[in-house]
Amino acid sequence: MVRSFAQQKNFKCSVCELGYYADEINGTCLNKCGTKVRIKEEECDDVNLVKGDGCDDQCKLENNYIFLNCVSILPKYPKPLMQSPDISQIYSGIRLFQLSYTTPNVRIDGFQIKDYLSLHISSSSSIEQVDQSYQLTQDTSQINEFNQSELNLMINITFNRSSQGQILLIKFLNTSVIYSNEVYSQIETEYFKLSALQFHQSL
């Protein structure tokens, strides 16, 4: 962004604001990245023009970095993980999954994550809400005096018909309720791809 000099009656130009430099030929003030002074045109300014450190050479934040106390940092966002704790047989209609998080979450009395998500099955042609029988069982364990906890959700789905080449998806309806002790909320807002599902109903 270019800012014009304010001309005075004595034909002298005013000094550029902190974080800008003077273009004396054109009589303008220009913003300059890499000065450590973050101006309104910049998302960050970490005193260098190096890419990949969270603040690029145009003073724009990279990936999921934030700018805090003149430093680009990557917060520890709660990130969902999915595992299959058992090895399901191809002719068994029961599928068991465990949803957990990479970092501890803040424990809220009465919080049930199942109230803030929905299950879906994705195939090559469509995405539909799960219409099979399933159970959601939450286990929350407090790990320290700072109200941090480890959250695990067991997902038990019983299939009553054959399925092949399908993907289980979770849509998070409100990610603001899932946050770390540093008050950083979960980023994934729509759905999280979990695992392929395959079941052949025996004859």
Reply yes or no on whether the pLDDT at 118 is more than 90: yes
- Residues with Cβ within 8 Å of residue 89, at least 6 apart in sequence: none
Secondary structure tally for the chain: helices H, strands E:
0, 14
Cα separation, 184 vs 35, whole angstroms: 28
Q: What is the pLDDT of residues 134-161, one digit of tens each?
A: 999 999 998 887 788 999 999 998 876 6
Reply yes or no on whether the pLDDT at 166 is more than 50: yes
- Spatial contact of 44 and 67, defined as CB atoms under 8 Å apart: yes
Helix locations, the chain, DSSP H: none
Residue whose pair of structure tokens reads 């934030």 in the numeric block:
66
Domains delineated in the chain: 80-199 (2.60.40)
pLDDT at 16: 84
Q: What is the pLDDT of residues 14-64, one digit of tens each?
A: 678 888 888 888 888 888 899 888 998 999 998 899 999 999 999 999 988
Mean pLDDT of the chain: 82
Whole-number Cα distances in Å, 137 to 96, 150, 154, 160, 192:
11, 14, 5, 21, 19
